[in-house]
Structure 1
Amino acid sequence: MTHKLDALAPDSGDRRSAGPEHAAGPGSLDISTLEVLKSDLPAGLVVFLVALPLCLGIALASGAPLFSGLIAGIVGGLVIPLISRSPLSVSGPAAGLAAIVFTGISALGSFNVFALAVVIAGAMQLGLGIVRAGGIAHYFPSSVIKGMLTAIGVLLILKQLPHAIGLDVEEFGATSFQVGRENTFSLIARALEVIQPGAALISLGCVALLVLWDKAPSLKKLTWLPAPLVAVLGAMLANEIFQRSAPAIAVQPEHLVRLPSTDGPAGLVGALHLPDWSAVTRSDVWVLAVTLAVVASLETLLNLEAVDRLDPWRRKSPPSREMLAQGVANMTSGLLGGLPITSVIVRSSAGVNAGGRTRAVAIFHGLFLVLAVLFMAPLLTKIPLACLAAILLTTGYKLAKPKLFTDMYRLGHSQFVPFITTVLAVVLTDLLKGVAIGLVVGLAFVLRESMSRVYEVSREGQQVTIRLNKGAYFFSRGKLVSLFEELPRDTHVILDGGAAPFVDHDIADAIRDFQSSAHLRNIQVEVRGLKLAPLGSA
């Protein structure tokens, strides 16, 4: 049995994606079920190891029950891949929504009411998918998307450095610049003052292993396991050795993965916070639901576009189909008392770097989360957070290599400035605010380009010819008016709009104003190729 991976499948409306169920296009790859298991099962395990502390950390940062984060991770892994056609995106609770969730829970008064808002938000996303609103992602400039990806890489490095050397005061997976009275840089400085030797040794060893694994093909032949999984196993073994032979440097329990205790499936069911349907008529619930739907949808679409850029086979994910999947998943998560879900770039990129090829990575990571909650807690609580931080450090470096900055600089200011602005804004604020700032800067460059070369001016004696050579929109009016004011007296002006595909009302008004006042400077105006209303008409 084989699966088809579309590398360069032709577009077909919204079904542009690659996936095992689609017919292969030119350059597609046939992968057997055994090969999928060989690549995606270990990659799913790596994503699970990264996702587990992230789910718990985001729940804590959101002021929500710990299980709500795990439920969102499980639903993101087991529900979304069944509907989505994104080959590599992994979904779960998102750090970018933590502030909204925290404020929402406080404002609504209980997590049960908040769960109802998540259900309603999911229904709204489902509606957006049905009307094919996902295409909005295509209107974000590539420089901003690249900037977002790079910023995530920089954030991973900055945020994981404290965890790598043993300072775990900030929740694992946090992305906001400001953390109470601390910020990203002050936490790094504080961590350097209280380095935990055991955590530092483990993280350094894991980083060295991950780097050597990529550079030495002979190491890869030793096992079919991906390097991040080998690093986790090595870190657990190293800490066990430290505990027996050098207790002073061993990583202490507060720096290991922590899981909420359960009494099996029955205990898990009892820990669920189901929606409070009696609050369905409350206006504040609906306001929060709209906020969650809009923010979660934007974050998902941005991450989806970014993940597609990481795909070695250059497959494309249909955004509207993703909105359907996210809507169903958020309704399911809310019904079970989980946090809101989005596509998440950290988990997705970890899966890509671990060699994942299909949506099976997301499914396997969801299955491992289920097993972790039910049966694997004693084993998982032996994993040092420092080794997971090392995995994310190397993932961050791959997303933010120095060469990327030089490549973007060579493309010119119109690409580099929005790119670097997005990087800095995301790092110093948060994902959505940073992208919004980058988008504004990107649009400013688009407007600047649109305003330039709108017209050409040629002079021959007392005759001045102004040719409109592209669409003339309102934002070009100021430049055109300035040109009219600078024209010398006693000239014959020919305004030729024959090559302009469009001249909007504001530009036409400016031309009529110039016509009406030109005689004061003894300027004769001849308009060609433009149909303007007669002077003096409304």
Structure 2
Amino acid sequence: MVKKNKFKTFASAIPQNLFAGFVVSLIALPLGLGLALASGAPPISGIISAVIGGILVSILGGSNVTITGPGNGLVVVVLAAITTLGQGDLHQGYLFTLAAIVFSGFLMIILGFLRMGSLGDFFPASAIQGMLAAIGIGILAKQFHVMLGNINAKGSIIELLLLIPKGIYDFFKVMDLNQMAAGLVGVISLLIMIFYSKIRNRYFQLIPAPMWIVVLSVGLHYYYEFISSSTYPISDALLINIPDKVFSNFAHPDFSKIFQLDFVNVVIGITLIASIESLLSIKAVDKLDPLKRRSNVNKDIKTLGLATVISGFLGGLNVVTVIARSSVNVNNNGSNRSANFFHASFLVLFILLFTTELRKIPLPALAAILVYTGYKLASPENFRKIVKIGKEQLLIFLITLIVTISTSLITGILTGIVATFIIHVIINKNLGLFVRNYLKPNVLMYKEDEGSGNYYVSIKNFSSFLNYTRLKTKIEQIPEDKDVIVDFSMCDFVDHTVMENMSNYAETFKRKGGHFEVIGLDSHDTDSEHPFAIRINLPFKNIVSGKNLTKRQKSLAKIGEELHWNYEAKPKFEVPNLSEFGYFKTRQINSIYNILSNGEGCKIFDVEFSEGELFAQQVIKATMFYINLDNLIPRFTLDKEGIFEYIYHFAGFKDIDLPNHPDFSKRFYLSGKECDAIKDFFNDELVLFFESNPYYHIESNEKGLLIVDKERLASVKEIKALTDFGIRLQKVISKCEVYAISLPK
């Protein structure tokens, strides 16, 4: 029955996925041709990659709404491979590169079987952004000249960038009709890409911007062919070249260089970039999925590897998961893998039925699409976003960007990783923090008692891109409709990559009906107000109240406003009232901070205390509620009855039973020296209150009450519950104080 329902659900979604696949194919067609040309490969190789990937990944893949095909990230590395391996012979270099693509596919299959889907989590976020920006600049540098009708511009990325002003000058100075016409097509195509989103006509928006460029440029060719008496001004050299028999004229890889070092470097580079681009895209698309399903990343990597092997043998490029086309799929209600299959099917139809029309597309039109794509990857807005996170992130970003542009993608990303680690060491002024603790297990996760049902995750020492996979592995085990508390209070350093991923998890859990909250960062310093900024644990004496408050602290301040309570983030180091409680007899209070108080005796706060001495000393941070009483009450301790309370019996502590409340006596452990006074004090209303509310550890020192939930920091949700409990308890206690009159003061 379940299978039948699943099939019905799948079948009922076919019409919308058919339409989504069609819309994606309209974008994939010009992009596939353009990316292949930008890579120095025949245009059809991009279409082969999209078709093979769409069919195989839709059948065997582990994702739901992703679209596959040639990727932006591989343009620079494939172009470099063709140039390097061919040593001037681009066709032969293309055949050698096909062999490298086949080998990279086999490596991706191996990575999938080794469950290396977590590889993408090892790369620092800012270094990845720098690498993507470098890829964007590389695409823009090469394609800008093609967009202006100059297909002869050669040189490195930096040289091509420096040639852009000269290219613009020559475009206007050299009155070559052929280049001028081609350049105008390119410039107009770029303007369409830029202003497409600003045109609000819904009928115009039915056709994606890249397809408008294809339609208009082909229409221009037909205008000159059938209507105008003038000759078409763009030469054949500036038009797409597609073989007459596309599916019977495949290029085949040349494996004669497989034992040479430059070939091995190409294979590693292609595999690295293909894996990173796919992993990042899969992670991003999962966030876009309306049903919030998680992809089986390792299964997807294996399938992408298999598709890449077949694509390489047939003359196609690498098959990767692509974010832009996947986003279009989601936006057009694509809901399952069939959309990827339909996108590939429509591409086959386009090639079979419209090959003649495709040959009429000018190269500058496709180059304009790629120039816009490159600009989006390296736009100034991306720089501004990095700066807001932190100056050190901009440094990592720029180091990766510059090295990648100057050398290669592999060198660039490896330099970014090393630079990130060095900067982390400098910021912390402590190499030992990373060296001593890297191999230590630093993540603890457990499900708390059935009362709260929270999943509690505690991280110690440090959490960065180096060991993030340990934290991710634990969080991935938690159902997304549950409540999760991630506590960094015992962690000395948290980097940007981890903070960004925590934010992503919070969004995912919220969409699925769960609650994901990060706590324990209130004593960590940061130079930026950005939520993804790095956090460094500081001694409390260095914390300045009100500076860069965490999300939790801002929530506490908001609670204070709602309750008309005073909120103070700055720590206090002299707390005499707390030291009078038995709870702190063997514990040393260091400070209290994040204090919410109402001026009427109620106060909720975070407290840091230590227990044990020397090597056995342990620092603990917890959230507590304190009630200051106007009159004296008996000293007592109230806890939930449990195994430890039975042990107290053997140790000589007495559980006080209330004669008229057997259920209370069974559920709670009540102790104190003044047995009669305590029995008088616990009247019916107070007993009913405790029986009707969650369990807390409650202790009286005659002049006040201390309420503790768990020996850890509380989440905002728990703070609200604890505050409500404490306020109501104070009101009930005020009616019980008559029983304390006989006590000595």
Distance in 2, Cα, partners of 1:236 & 1:500: 60
Q: CA deviation at 1:380?
A: 0.2
CA contact (8 A) 2:193 2:210 kept: yes
Q: Alignment RMSD, CA only?
A: 4.4
CA offsets, 1:58-99, max 9 Å, x none? 354xxxx77666544432333234333343353338331343
CA offsets, 1:7-41, max 9 Å, x none? xxxxxxxxxxxxx99x99xxxxx994333333331
Aligned to 2:427: 449
The answer to whether 1:190 aligns with 2:167 is yes
**Counterpart AA for 2:306:** V
Distance in 2, Cα, partners of 1:410 & 1:372: 45
Distance in 2, Cα, partners of 1:127 & 1:411: 36
Aligned to 1:511: none
**Counterpart AA for 2:60:** I
CA contact (8 A) 2:17 2:339 kept: no
Distance in 2, Cα, partners of 1:156 & 1:118: 20
Aligned to 2:16: 35
The answer to whether 1:273 aligns with 2:252 is yes
**Counterpart AA for 1:47:** A
Q: CA deviation at 1:120?
A: 5.0
Aligned to 1:99: 80
Distance in 2, Cα, partners of 1:157 & 1:117: 25
**Superposed, which structure 2 residues align to 1:171-320 within 5 Å?**
177=157, 183-186=160-163, 189-190=166-167, 192-194=169-171, 196-217=179-200, 219-222=201-204, 224-241=206-223, 245=228, 247=230, 250-262=233-245, 265=247, 267-268=248-249, 271-273=250-252, 284=259, 291=265, 294-308=268-282, 311=285, 313=288, 317-320=295-298
**Distance change >3 Å, CA 415–CA 430, structure 1 → 2:** same
**Counterpart AA for 1:83:** L
The answer to whether 1:386 aligns with 2:364 is yes
CA contact (8 A) 2:217 2:365 kept: yes
In terms of mean alpha carbon deviation, does 201-210 or 138-147 score higher?
Answer: 201-210
**Counterpart AA for 1:436:** L
**Counterpart AA for 2:233:** A
Distance in 2, Cα, partners of 1:32 & 1:412: 45
The answer to whether 1:74 aligns with 2:48 is no
SS at match of 2:206: coil
CA contact (8 A) 1:89 1:304 kept: no
CA contact (8 A) 1:202 1:238 kept: no
Task: Structure 2 unaligned segments of length 5 or more: list them.
Answer: 1-5, 173-178, 434-459, 463-489, 493-612, 618-745
SS at match of 1:529: helix
CA offsets, 1:441-462, max 9 Å, x none? 222222223435979xxxxxxx
Distance in 1, Cα, partners of 2:143 & 2:44: 23
- Larger-Rg structure: 2
Aligned pair partner of 2:109 in 126, 147, 172: 126
SS at match of 2:70: strand
**Superposed, which structure 2 residues align to 1:48-63 within 5 Å?**
48-56=29-37, 58=39, 60=41
Distance in 1, Cα, partners of 2:12 & 2:400: 37
CA contact (8 A) 2:97 2:253 kept: no
SS at match of 2:207: coil
Aligned pair partner of 1:163 in 146, 153, 156: 146
Distance in 1, Cα, partners of 2:240 & 2:327: 23
Q: CA deviation at 1:291?
A: 4.9
CA offsets, 1:118-158, max 9 Å, x none? 55553343222112022111111111222233333334433
TM-score between the two structures when normalised by the length of structure 1: 0.64
Q: Which has the higher helix share?
A: 1
Aligned to 1:420: 398
Distance in 1, Cα, partners of 2:222 & 2:357: 12
**Counterpart AA for 2:25:** G
Aligned to 1:461: none
**Distance change >3 Å, CA 530–CA 329, structure 1 → 2:** same
Distance in 2, Cα, partners of 1:119 & 1:404: 34
SS at match of 1:284: coil
Distance in 1, Cα, partners of 2:374 & 2:100: 33
TM-score between the two structures when normalised by the length of structure 2: 0.48
Q: CA deviation at 1:431?
A: 3.2
SS at match of 2:187: helix
**Counterpart AA for 2:147:** A
**Distance change >3 Å, CA 100–CA 162, structure 1 → 2:** closer
Q: CA deviation at 1:337?
A: 4.1
Q: CA deviation at 1:406?
A: 1.6
**Distance change >3 Å, CA 90–CA 148, structure 1 → 2:** farther
Distance in 1, Cα, partners of 2:254 & 2:388: 53
CA offsets, 1:283-322, max 9 Å, x none? 728x788656533332123212443575461766544223
The answer to whether 1:529 aligns with 2:504 is no
The structure whose RCO (Cα within 8 Å, separation 6+) is larger is 1
**Counterpart AA for 1:225:** I
Aligned to 1:460: none
Aligned pair partner of 2:301 in 323, 347, 359: 323
Aligned pair partner of 1:440 in 418, 426, 442: 418
Q: CA deviation at 1:332?
A: 2.0
Distance in 2, Cα, partners of 1:91 & 1:166: 27
The answer to whether 1:402 aligns with 2:380 is yes
**Distance change >3 Å, CA 55–CA 156, structure 1 → 2:** closer
Q: CA deviation at 1:435?
A: 2.2
Q: CA deviation at 1:51?
A: 0.6
Q: Which has the higher strand share?
A: 2
**Distance change >3 Å, CA 67–CA 405, structure 1 → 2:** closer
Count of residue correspondences: 417
Task: Structure 1 unaligned segments of length 5 or more: list them.
Answer: 1-19, 25-29, 456-468, 472-498, 502-526, 532-538
The answer to whether 1:144 aligns with 2:124 is no
Distance in 2, Cα, partners of 1:90 & 1:432: 23
**Distance change >3 Å, CA 391–CA 288, structure 1 → 2:** closer
- Provide the identity percentage: 22
Distance in 2, Cα, partners of 1:420 & 1:188: 23
Distance in 2, Cα, partners of 1:189 & 1:367: 43
